[in-house]
Amino acid sequence: MRCVREYASSRYLEETGANCECGGFLRPSVVLFGEGLPPFDYERAEEWTEEADLFIVLGSSLLVSPANLFPRRAKQRGARLVIVNRDTTPLDERADMLIQNEPIGSILQRTEKYLNA
């Protein structure tokens, strides 16, 4: 967090690897619960949402704002909405495709094989 140096995720997961060479702590490059989205990333997500023809939600309850606003907005703008999640979400009824009983990893592997065929 101090020097913004990047490491492989395996180092973060190692019991002794939670410290950086600079002496600071390592943290994953994600927005943790309770943190705000970085302004640049939020603006970029808004732009992409406005331009989307297809909006895919992977593994989200769609209960936490502001992230849950993006698929709603995309759908309002005419994008198709695909929701891949183990549990139900508030947007399931509005989804064009709903996938609930398949692990996200297997779906992504199938998609990658399809796109690379």
> Residue 35's pLDDT is what?
85
Q: What is the pLDDT of residues 27-74, one digit of tens each?
A: 777 787 788 888 999 999 999 999 999 999 999 999 988 889 999 999
Neighbours of 84 (CB within 10 A): 19
In 3D, which of 5, 78, 69, 64 has the Cα closest to residue 34? 64
Predicted confidence band of residue 76 (pLDDT cuts 50, 70, 90): very high
> Residue 1's pLDDT is what?
61
Q: Which CATH architecture has domain 37-116?
A: 3-Layer(aba) Sandwich (3.40)
Domain parsing of the chain, residue ranges: 1-30, 37-116
Average model confidence (pLDDT) for the chain? 88
Query: In this predicted model, which residue has the larger pLDDT, 12 or 15?
Result: 12
Query: In this predicted model, which residue has the larger pLDDT, 8 or 13?
Result: 8
Mean pLDDT of 10-24: 73
Length of the chain: 117
Residue 9 has pLDDT above 80, yes or no: no
* pTM greater than 0.85: no
Mean pLDDT of 10-14: 71
Q: Which two tokens stand for residue 99?
A: 């996938």
> Residue 16's pLDDT is what?
61
Sequence-distant (≥ 6) Cβ neighbours of residue 49 within 8 angstroms: 55, 70, 73, 74, 77, 79
